[in-house]
Amino acid sequence: MNIVILSKGPKNYTTRRLQEAAVERGHNVRVINYAKCYVTLEKNNPVVVYNGEEVKNVDIVIPRIAQSLTKYGSSIVRQFEMQNVFTTASSIAIVRSRDKLRSMQLLSKAGIGIPKTVFARETAEFENVIERVGGSPVIIKVARGTHGNGVVLAETKKAAKAVMQAFYVEGVNFLVQEFIEESAGTDIRALVVNGKVVAAIERKSLDDDFRSNTHQGGVGRPVRLSDEEKRTAQKAARAMGLTVCGVDMMRSDRGPLVLEVNSSASIKTPELITKYDVAGQIIDYAVQAAKAGRRKDKIGA
Ligand SMILES: Nc1ncnc2c1ncn2[C@@H]1O[C@H](COP(=O)(O)OP(=O)(O)O)[C@@H](O)[C@H]1O
Ligand SMILES: [Mg+2]
């Protein structure tokens, strides 16, 4: 099959591994920098151009879209969808996953455990907002942050109010969340492929940071998920319309709580730590799904 990996970083671990796994299985694979693609549109003829040439005869697209290029990257994915090319993450699911509020709404609708969350912009209501999530300390997140950047722990009501006001004057959308104290500094990343958890790691911050993102210096170790945790990750993936994704969860006193679902999750730490061939599983799934014909997004939000 002809596989295209849409990635800005050909040397990036995940991109390299996906490429390797595809080659091992006898497929043709190209890494295309979506940021350097352009599209042409005319009646019934959606074309993607890269390095001056039309990208043709593609069977599978594997999008690895950076947060900062969500709009442009997803429109390139959409262009392939318009050509009926199978993609491991649909353009609409990518865009959806990049919006924390939209994600929280979908997860809560699907009956999945999440930290209690408030989204507001009325400055006069700040005190009420803090009370609604159980009082300080609270977590405040910008709606489009990633890698732990844009996630703040406000220890006191005063600090929370100041942070919210700062975001407000800057016009940044944010959400206020109950602080999951019992497992602060630790979270679980479950990689889901074809609706099933294929690898899971626990990430722990090394210092006293409450954020466990590996980009913030967190380290990972393999972890055995309970059936409830597996089910939760799988359900979260389904609720977001993603068949290949990374689900972040925290272990709380009331069970697993989903923080976010990543549509371009890195497979680096999970593969290196668990030694599972996640890349191979993604390629196997993509090939089988592409043969079966593409499915429509039915999330409706
Ligand atoms: N409600 C919360 N309570 C405690 N810790 C949290 C909470 N939300 C996030 N964190 C910590 O902050 C990290 C980053 O939060 P997350 O929502 O995943 O944002 P990002 O998209 O920036 O990774 C999480 O991995 C977790 O360790
Ligand atoms: Mg995260």
Domain with CATH 3.30.1490.20 in the chain: 116-179
The mean pLDDT value for 104-131 works out to 91
Q: What is the spatial distance between Cα 265 and Cα 274, in angstroms, rounded to a whole number?
A: 16
pLDDT of residue 218: 79
Instruction: Work out the end-to-end distance of the chain between its first and last CA atoms, rounded to an integer number of angstroms.
Output: 32
CATH (one of 3.40.50.1370, 3.40.50.150, 3.30.470.20, 3.20.20.150) for 183-262: 3.30.470.20
Q: Which residues contact 196 (CB under 8 A, 6 or more apart)?
A: 234
pLDDT of residue 117: 96
Domain with CATH 3.30.470.20 in the chain: 183-262
The residue that leads in pLDDT, 154 or 122, is 154
Residue closest to 7 by CA, chosen among 39, 48, 35: 35
116-179: CATH topology is Dna Ligase; domain 1 (3.30.1490)
The mean pLDDT value for 140-156 works out to 88
User: To the nearest whole number, what is the mean pLDDT of the chain?
Assistant: 94
Percentage of the chain lying above the pLDDT 90 cut: 81
- Ligand 1 contacts (CB < 6 A) are 115, 139, 141, 145-148, 150-151, 177-180, 184, 187, 210-213, 248, 259-260
Mutate to test the pocket of ligand 1, among 101, 151, 240, 269 (most ligand atoms within 8 A of CB): 151
Mutate to test the pocket of ligand 1, among 108, 189, 213 (most ligand atoms within 8 A of CB): 213
Domain with CATH 3.40.50.20 in the chain: 2-97
Predicted confidence (pLDDT) per residue in 32-90, tens digit: 999 999 999 988 888 999 999 999 999 999 999 999 999 999 999 999 999 999 999 99
205 CA: nearest ligand 1 atom: 27
Q: What is the spatial distance between Cα 265 and Cα 6, in angstroms, rounded to a whole number?
A: 14
pLDDT of residue 294: 64
Confidence of residue 200 (pLDDT cuts 50, 70, 90): very high
The mean pLDDT value for 214-243 works out to 93
Cβ atoms of 167 and 141 closer than 8 Å: no
Residue 153 has pLDDT above 90, yes or no: yes
2-97: CATH topology is Rossmann fold (3.40.50)
